[in-house]
C-alpha cells in the first residue's frame, strides 16, 4: 500500500496544482508563504502564463489597468496603462524567479485524470504516463482555456490558412492578403485594428455587437513610472483602480437594467457610437446592441470603432453560414473572397474542468454530478470531492479577476494547511452550504441583464454559471467568513 503523500517528504508532492497561469502561480506563492513547499505545478503548455502564454495574436493585451491586473504581493515597473502579452509574461517570469517556483513546474505535461483514493488521497495521472498520489489538488485551468471551433459546412475545404485566435499561426503571412475575422468580442476588436495596416482587406463577421467603450490605453511617461515605482504610490494606485471597478460591482447595480448606474453606462456607450459614426449611419446601426447593457461582457477599445471607418475594413453584421475553398458565405448567402481565416469564436467557459476527468469519493465523475450544469460553493468546492479546490470556478467571473484568484488561492491554501494536522484525513464542503449558497447565487442573478441576453455565461439549462453578481469585497468576505463553518472534516480512524 502506498502511504499518503506527506507535507514533509519530497519524494511525492503533497499538493498538485493543475495549470500554470495566473491562478496556479498565485496558489504556488500562497503555499510557499504558508511553509508548504512540496507541490508540483503541471502545465500543458511549454511555458507559464495560461491564456497569456497561449494567446499571441496581434494586439493582445489586458483590459484591466496593469497595476491592478497583477498580484498584491508583487510590484512591477509597468510601461503601459494596459500591459500587452509580452510584458505580462515578463512580470510572471519575475514572480516565478522571486519565489523560486521554477523547480516546481512540469511543462508540456497534461493532467488527464484525478481520482479520490481514500486514505491515499488523490491519484493523479498525467500525459507522460506517470501516476502519483497527493493530499490535495488545486485546479487552476482557468475559464477561457478551451477554444470553441465552429462546425460550418465546408470549413475543412478552405484552401488558405485557418486558425483560432488562441492558437495564432505565427508563420501565416498576412501582408497584402484578404483576411476574414469571425467574431466581434474582446479578441476580435484587438486583432482588427492591429492587422488593418498590413493586410489588403479585413472582413469582420459580427453575429451580434457588443457594448464598447474607449480604453484610454497609452504608454506611461518616464515621470509616471518613476513615481509609480514607489511602494506607497503603487499601492495607492491599486486602491484607486480597485475602487473604480468595485463601486459599480459592489451591490451589482451595474448589471441590473433600470438602475442609475446601468442606465448611465448604456447612455455613455451610445454617445460613443454616435460620436465615432456621426457620418456613417449604416455602421451606427450595425454596432448598436439590441440587448440591455452588460448582457454580454463590455468591450474596452479605443482603436476598434475608428478601424471600422478604414477603406480596407468591412463589417458584415451577419453570422457565417458556410465556407468554400476561397470564401466565407454569410447567412444572406453572400460570398466574401478570403485568403486567411481567423476564428475569434471564443471559448467553452461553461465546461469547467473539461481538460481532465475528476472522480470523487463515491466513484462518480464530476461531470455526472454536474450534468452540464456546473456549480460550486464559493466557486471553489463541491461535495464528494474532498481536498479538491477550483480557482476561477463556477460563478466567480466578474470584477477584478486577479483579486478573485488570490482570494480563492488563499481559501484553498488555508484549508490545505489544516491537513498538516495528522488527525485530519479529508476536508469536504457540507452539502447544505453548497445547496443554499447556489440558490442564493441564482436569486441574485435573476434580475441581471445576463439572463436577458445571448452570452457565454449560461449552461445548457439556461442558468448563468460563470458570473459573480457582486464585487470583490463581498466575495473576499464570504471566503473568510464561511470557510470554517462550511467544512465537513473527516478524521483518521484509529487503528
Confidence band of 251 (pLDDT split at 50, 70, 90)? confident
For the segment 315-359, what is each residue's pLDDT rounded down to a tens digit?
A: 999 999 999 999 999 999 999 999 999 999 999 988 999 999 999
pLDDT band at 2 (very low <50, low <70, confident <90, very high): very low
Q: What is the pLDDT of residue 11?
A: 47
Domain range 155-218+228-343, CATH architecture: 3-Layer(bba) Sandwich (3.50)
Q: What values do phi and psi take at 340, rounded to 5? A: -130, 135
pLDDT per position as a tens digit, 456-485: 999 999 999 999 999 999 999 999 999 999
Which set of grid coordinates corresponds to residue 408?
Answer: 480563492
Q: What is the pLDDT of residue 7?
A: 59
Average pLDDT value over all residues in the chain: 95
What pLDDT digit, counting tens, does each position of 277-308 carry? 999 999 999 999 999 999 999 999 999 999 99
**pLDDT exceeds cutoff 70 at 116:** yes
| 400: β partners | none
For residue 3, the model assigns a pLDDT of: 42
For strands 105-107 and 111-116, give the pairing: unpaired
pLDDT in tens, 401-442: 999 999 999 999 999 999 988 889 999 999 999 999 999 999
- Domain spans, the chain: 15-146+348-491, 155-218+228-343
Average pLDDT estimate for 80-108: 98
CB 56 within 8 A of CB 169: no
Model confidence band, residue 248 (pLDDT cutoffs 50, 70, 90): confident
The Cα-based distances of 430 to 132, 423, 488 in angstroms read 28, 19, 6
Cα–Cα distance, 259 to 175 (Å, whole number): 47
- For residue 40, pLDDT over 60 is answered with yes
Task: Quote the percentage of the chain above a pLDDT of 90.
Answer: 91
From 3.50.30.60, 3.40.50.300, 3.50.50.60, 3.40.50.1220, which CATH number describes the 15-146+348-491 domain?
Answer: 3.50.50.60
- Residue 1: the pLDDT is 31
At residue 8 the predicted structure's pLDDT band, cuts being 50, 70 and 90, is low
pLDDT tens digits along 125-176: 999 988 999 999 999 999 888 899 999 999 999 999 999 999 999 999 999 9
pLDDT in tens, 170-221: 999 999 999 999 999 999 999 999 999 999 999 999 999 999 999 999 999 9
pLDDT tens column, 355-375 = 999 999 999 999 999 999 999
CB 221, CB 198: distance < 8 Å? no
Categorize the per-residue pLDDT at 400 as very low, low, confident or very high, splitting at 50, 70 and 90: confident
Amino acid at each position: 500500500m502506498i502511504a499518503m503523500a506527506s507535507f514533509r517528504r519530497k519524494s511525492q508532492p503533497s499538493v498538485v496544482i493543475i495549470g500554470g497561469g495566473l491562478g496556479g502561480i498565485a496558489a504556488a506563492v500562497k503555499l510557499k508563504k504558508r511553509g508548504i513547499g512540496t507541490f508540483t505545478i503541471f502545465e500543458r503548455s511549454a511555458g507559464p502564463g495560461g491564456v497569456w502564454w497561449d494567446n499571441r495574436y496581434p494586439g493582445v493585451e489586458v483590459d484591466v489597468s496593469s497595476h491592478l491586473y497583477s498580484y498584491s504581493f508583487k510590484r512591477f515597473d509597468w510601461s503601459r496603462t494596459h500591459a500587452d502579452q509580452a510584458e505580462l509574461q515578463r512580470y510572471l517570469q519575475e514572480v516565478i524567479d522571486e519565489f523560486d517556483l521554477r523547480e516546481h513546474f512540469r511543462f508540456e505535461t497534461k493532467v488527464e485524470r484525478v481520482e479520490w483514493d481514500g486514505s491515499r488521497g488523490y491519484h493523479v495521472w498525467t500525459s507522460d504516463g506517470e501516476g502519483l498520489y497527493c493530499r490535495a489538488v488545486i485546479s487552476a485551468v482557468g475559464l477561457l482555456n478551451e477554444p470553441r471551433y465552429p462546425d460550418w459546412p465546408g470549413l475543412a475545404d478552405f484552401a488558405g490558412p485557418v486558425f483560432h485566435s488562441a492558437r495564432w499561426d505565427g508563420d501565416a503571412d498576412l501582408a497584402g492578403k484578404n483576411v476574414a475575422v469571425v467574431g466581434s468580442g474582446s479578441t476580435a476588436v484587438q486583432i482588427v485594428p492591429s492587422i488593418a495596416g498590413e493586410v489588403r482587406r479585413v472582413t469582420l463577421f459580427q453575429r451580434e455587437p457588443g457594448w464598447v467603450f474607449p480604453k484610454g490605453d497609452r504608454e506611461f511617461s518616464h515621470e509616471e513610472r518613476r513615481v509609480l515605482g514607489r511602494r506607497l504610490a503603487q499601492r495607492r494606485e491599486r486602491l484607486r483602480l480597485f475602487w473604480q471597478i468595485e463601486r459599480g460591482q459592489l451591490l451589482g447595480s451595474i448589471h441590473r437594467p433600470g438602475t442609475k448606474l446601468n442606465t448611465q453606462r448604456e447612455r455613455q456607450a451610445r454617445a460613443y457610437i454616435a460620436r465615432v459614426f456621426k457620418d456613417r449611419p449604416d455602421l451606427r446601426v450595425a454596432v448598436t446592441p439590441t440587448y440591455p447593457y452588460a448582457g454580454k461582457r463590455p468591450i474596452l477599445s479605443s482603436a476598434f470603432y475608428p478601424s471600422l471607418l478604414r477603406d480596407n475594413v468591412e463589417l458584415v453584421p451577419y453570422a457565417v453560414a458556410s465556407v468554400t475553398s476561397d470564401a466565407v458565405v454569410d447567412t444572406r448567402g453572400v460570398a466574401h473572397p478570403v485568403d486567411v481565416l481567423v476564428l475569434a469564436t471564443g471559448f467553452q467557459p461553461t465546461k469547467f474542468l473539461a481538460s481532465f476527468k475528476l472522480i470523487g469519493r463515491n466513484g462518480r465523475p464530476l461531470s455526472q454530478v454536474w450534468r452540464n450544469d456546473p456549480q460550486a460553493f464559493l466557486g471553489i468546492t463541491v461535495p464528494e470531492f474532498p481536498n479538491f479546490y477550483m480557482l476561477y470556478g463556477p460563478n466567480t467571473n466578474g470584477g477584478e479577476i486577479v483579486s478573485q484568484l488570490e482570494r480563492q488561492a488563499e481559501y484553498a491554501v488555508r484549508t490545505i494547511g489544516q491537513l498538516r494536522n495528522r488527525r485530519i484525513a479529508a476536508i469536504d464542503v457540507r452539502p447544505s452550504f453548497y445547496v443554499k449558497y447556489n440558490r442564493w447565487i441564482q436569486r441574485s442573478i435573476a434580475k441581471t441583464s445576463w439572463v436577458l441576453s445571448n452570452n457565454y455565461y449560461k449552461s445548457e439549462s439556461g442558468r448563468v454559471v460563470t458570473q459573480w453578481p457582486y464585487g470583490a469585497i463581498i466575495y473576499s468576505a464570504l471566503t473568510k467568513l464561511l470557510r470554517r463553518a462550511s467544512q465537513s472534516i473527516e478524521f483518521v480512524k484509529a487503528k
